[in-house]
Each structure stands twice: as structure tokens, then as C-alpha cells.
Amino acid sequence: MIQEKIKDLLEKNIIQEEQASQLQAIYSGKLVSVFYELRTLLYLGVMLFTAGVGIIIYLNIGSIGHIISIIGLSLATIACFIFAFLKGKPFSESKVEHALPYLDYIVLLGALLLVAVLGYLQFQFELLNQYLGVSSLFSAIIFFFIAYRFDHIGVLSLGITALAAFFGISTSPIAWHSYDFFTVAPLVNVSIIFGLALIALAFLLNKYEIKSHFTFTYYHFGLLLIFIAGLSGLFNKDSAGWFTLLLYSSVGLGIYLSRQTNSLLFFVYSIVVAYIVTTYWISDTDFFEAIWFLYFMFSCGGLIFFIITARKIFKRKV
């Protein structure tokens, strides 16, 4: 069937012989794209390299010396950014396609090495103890500059994370396990405000078409912060009513953003959060165990069916 369509296009002079040959090779399976596989390997290589540098320094710290290690890391960081400035294209408000396919990985490597340098200074010399907030803000400014200058979404994520740390929004697996995550009321409120600010900033930047392809990343971080902080506040029964209203409003916002960005991921976040909030309030009622069993059976099944059905609506699967 495909071969006949290609032949028909060729006969109507819509495509050339060379194009027809390429299409036939693709549809026959002779040509297979390995674009995403190569990108994954390159990103993995950058991560393994930075991890390996840290391990080598840790194992040989006595022989290498702290100062030499920091100088070496700093020179490597500077070299990455000098190369990026020399080989990268100028700044543009729209999406930039660099001439060198591996430039993105050089920029990411430089950003991760910068994190290693700052972490090293803090861990070994404790130089930033009194200036952790300033250090986080400085890192955020640098990462945002790099992200916009070289059009790098990965570094933008680092910038948002550093900015969140500046406002005191941070966690760890230990804090999560011990339920210390978002247990302080002011931190919950700060997280919600910060999440809303990210979404508002993304909306404005998208409106003026400044790096519109960054919008999804801003929305993603903003929604996650609002949902996680809102759920943490909900489980603190002192303000459950307020956080319920906030979460249901955020669910509406998430569904709206999912339609704006054609993102199934935002839609799934919103539906799951709505289900959690609804189940939380239903759990306070005096239902019999049999009714609870039926509720969970039908609600979970309905939730899965609803999400699967929604996949047909959204073009963007993330």
C-alpha cells in the first residue's frame, strides 16, 4: 500500500526519484533512525563522566590535593563555556538549532561541573555556610543565563531547582521518608506561591514569544510544586478546607494547561490529584467495608480507563 502511494507521488512529480528511494528505504525498514538512542547515550556519557570525576577526586584526595582538584574542575568548567560561546549561535528569542549536534552536551557538562565546584567548596572548606542562600541565587542566575543563551532546557531545570533552593524549597529521600517534606506551614505557602509564579512567568514569556518552547518546563515545575505542597497541606487537618479548595482549583488549572500544551502528563497529574483529594474526604465518612471495596474497585478502574481514553485527545504524550 505504501509503495503504491510513493509510486503515485512520483508519477505526479510531487517528489523526485531520490526522495522516492529514501521513502522506500524508510518504510521497508532498511533505514532506521537512532537519533533518540544517540542522544540518550550522550546524556548518559555526560552524567557518567561527571560522576567519575567526583569518584576519582574522592578516592585520591590525599594525593591530588583539594586546591588542585578545584582548579582542575574550574578550568574544565571554563573550557566548556568558552567552547560553547565560540561555537554556539547567537542568542535568539525563538528556538535555536546549533550547528554542532554535541554542543548541548558540552553546555550541560559545564553546568554540572559548576555544580561540582560549588559543592566541593562547600563540602570540603565550608566556605558557603553563611552564604548558602546567596550561593543558590548566584547559581540560579548563572543557570538561567546559560539556559537562555544556549537554548538548553536541561540547564533551565537546574536554574529553577537552584532558585527553589534559594527560597528554602528543597528535600531529600531521607526527609521524604521521615515525612519532613513540606511539613512546615510557611514552606508550604512559599512553595505554592513559587509554583504559581513559575506558571505566570511562563505564560508571559510565551505570550511575548520569548523561548516559547521553555513554557512546558515552567508549567511542569509549577504544577508539581502546587500539587505536592497542596497535598502536604491537605493532610494537615488544621487547614484541610483551604487546601481542598486550592487543589481543586489547581486541578482545573492543570487541565487547562494540558489542553494549551496538548500534554497528557499534565492531565494525568490533575486527574490523579483530584482522585486523591476526593478519596481523602470520602475516607472521613462512615462507609461500610463492602462499600469501600466497591468504591476503590470501580474508582481505580474508572480512573485508569479515563486516562487511557484521554490519550486519544492529546498529541503530546508527556
Instruction: Tell me the pLDDT tens digit for each residue of 55-99.
Output: 766 666 655 667 777 888 899 999 999 999 999 999 999 988 887
Same domain? 97 vs 135: yes
For 258, half-sphere exposure in the C-beta direction (CA atoms, 13 angstrom radius) is 22
Residue-wise pLDDT tens digits, 128-151: 666 677 888 889 999 999 999 999
As for how many domains the chain has, the answer is 3
> Both 99 and 233 in a single domain?
no
- What separation in angstroms does the CA of 248 have from each of 127, 201, 243, 255? 44, 22, 8, 11
pLDDT band at 176 (very low <50, low <70, confident <90, very high): very low
What is the rounded CA–CA span in Å between residue 215 and residue 222?
A: 11
Question: Residue range 226-254: average pLDDT?
Answer: 89
Let me know whether 173 and 251 are in one domain: yes
Residues 194 and 220 in one domain: yes
Q: SS3 helix, strand, coil % of the chain, rounded to 5?
A: 80, 0, 20
Q: Which residue has the higher pLDDT, 295 or 138?
A: 138
Task: Please check the confidence at residue 255 and state whether its pLDDT lies above 90.
Answer: yes
Q: Which domain holds residue 6?
A: 1-32
Instruction: Provide the residue count of the chain.
Output: 318
29 pLDDT more than 70: no
Q: Evaluate if residue 179 carries a pLDDT over 60.
A: no
Q: What percent of the chain is modeled with pLDDT above 90?
A: 35
Residues 213 and 301 reside in one and the same domain: yes
The answer to whether residues 117 and 74 touch, using CB atoms and an 8 Å cutoff, is yes
Same domain flag for 10 and 116: no
Q: Are residues 202 and 287 in the same domain?
A: yes
Q: How many secondary structure helices (H) and strands (E) does the chain include?
A: 14, 0
Q: What is the pTM of this model?
A: 0.79
Stretch 268-287: mean pLDDT, rounded?
A: 84
The residue out of 102, 136, 158 marking a domain boundary is 158
Which pLDDT band, with edges at 50, 70 and 90, does 170 fall under? low
Q: In this structure, are 269 and 311 located in the same domain? A: yes
- pLDDT of residue 30 exceeding 70, the answer is no
Torsion of CA 185, 191, 197, 203, to 10 degrees: -130
149 and 173 in a single domain? The answer is: no
Asked whether 87 and 110 are in contact (CB, 8 A), the reply is no
What confidence score (pLDDT) does residue 226 get?
A: 95
Same domain, 194 and 298: yes
Tell which residue, 136, 135, 123, has the closest CA to residue 57.
123
